[in-house]
Amino acid sequence: MRCITLSTLSHLRQTQVLASSLKEHGYELSCLVVDAWSEEDINCNPKILKTECMSILAEDEKAQALINAYRGNKDALRWSLKSRYMIYALEQRGEEVVYLDNDMYCLGRLDVVDDYLKKHPLLLTPHHYSLSTQKDQFWLEASLKHGLFNAGFVGANVEGIKTLDWWSDACLYRCEKSLLRGLFDDQRYLDQFPIIEPRTLICPHPGINVGGWNATSRKRSINGNQLLVLGEECLLVHMNHYTLQSAFNGKDPLLQPLAEQYLDALNAHHFSKDQSDFMSTSWRDRMKLWLWHKLS
């Protein structure tokens, strides 16, 4: 099984943290650097992270169309090229491929993921937001606005290429957030995967793509020194801003030791962060929550 990600030059040090965590458990990470047009642009430790520049997609017409459409927007370019890099990796080696956001953190062997992808063409992880209709219903609404699945983890084998190709076309149509159009960047399109390819597997393992947003529905516990999620080993944590914030402000307390470990790893790779960077909610998120309560 091959693990891949995409990054900008500015976040390669963070990407090295993911690569190091995967390497500890026997996996190598390959990274497409979306703002590097030659290998000379990239300054990275090849012993930790294998990097590739955009020239590898020079013969891919759909990739070139996406580059032309989103060249001025690095986020949209990175999101929309996930499918092309996955297809590239699948066609290059034929083995199963897992795309991971570069702020993931690996805690254990991913043999279960490999097993799933030997039997299913596509593998998706739901957000597992709280679906309560009685309390904090903004999470229920988020699942309808943001999509059912988290685009930070997508697995595929060669039989999934046709659906990944459709994902490319969808992103070329639009890769943006739009409540009016029912769009959320590249992510909302994942809702269609089980319809296009009925053999798509919704990941049964609760320890894959753990994040602050599923603290309520994916109960954490500790067994010795091991973090468990619904009684199963926690294997992949999505260490984005919200997950780290939830760990440090007490909303997801059992993740705090792991979050501290992750920050230490970031700093060891000279991607300087500390707890104070994650203690407060952004003004944009505070405004969204205030507006939601006003309209409720």
The angle at the Cα of 187, spanning 184 to 193, to the nearest 5 degrees, equals 125
In the structure encoding, which two tokens stand for residue 225, read together?
Answer: 């020194």
Residue pLDDT, tens place only, 255-281? 999 999 999 999 999 887 777 676 666
Query: What is the reported pLDDT for 286?
Result: 63
Which CATH number covers residue 110? 3.90.550.10
Stronger pLDDT, 295 or 251, i.e. the higher one? 251
Average pLDDT over residues 91-97: 92
140-167 confidence digits (pLDDT tens): 988 889 999 999 999 999 999 999 999 9
pLDDT for the residue 45: 87
Span 199-226, average pLDDT: 96
At 292 the pLDDT is 47
pLDDT, mean of residues 192-220 = 97
- pLDDT of 293 strictly over 80: no
Q: pLDDT per residue over 27-54, tens digit each?
A: 999 999 999 999 888 988 899 999 999 9
pTM to 2 decimal places: 0.93
Q: Are 193 and 82 in contact (CB under 8 A)?
A: no
CA distance 16 to 24: 12
Give residue 136's region: left, alpha or beta (phi > 0; psi -120 to 50).
left
CA distances from 112 to 115, 212, 235, 248, 290 (A): 5, 23, 10, 30, 41
Computed over every residue of the chain, the mean pLDDT equals: 93
In the chain, the number of structural domains is 1
pLDDT at 276: 67
Q: What is the pLDDT of residue 51?
A: 97
Q: Measured between alpha carbons, how far is 19 from 24 in angstroms, rounded to an integer?
A: 9
C-alpha to C-alpha distances, 210 to 12, 99, 152, 238, nearest whole angstrom? 22, 15, 11, 6
Question: Looking at the DSSP assignment, which residues form a beta bridge with residue 237?
Answer: 105, 210
End-to-end CA distance of the chain: 46
- In percent, the amount of the chain with pLDDT more than 90 equals 81
Question: In DSSP terms, which residues pair with 122 in a beta bridge?
Answer: 156
Mean pLDDT within 75-80: 97
The distance of Cα 154 from the centroid of its chain, to the nearest Å, equals 8
The band of 15, judged by pLDDT with boundaries at 50, 70 and 90, is: very high
H helix runs in the chain, sequence order: 12-23, 61-70, 74-80, 82-93, 111-119, 138-146, 161-173, 193-196, 241-248, 256-268, 283-295
Could you list the residue range(s) of the whole structural domain that residue 44 is in? Answer: 2-295
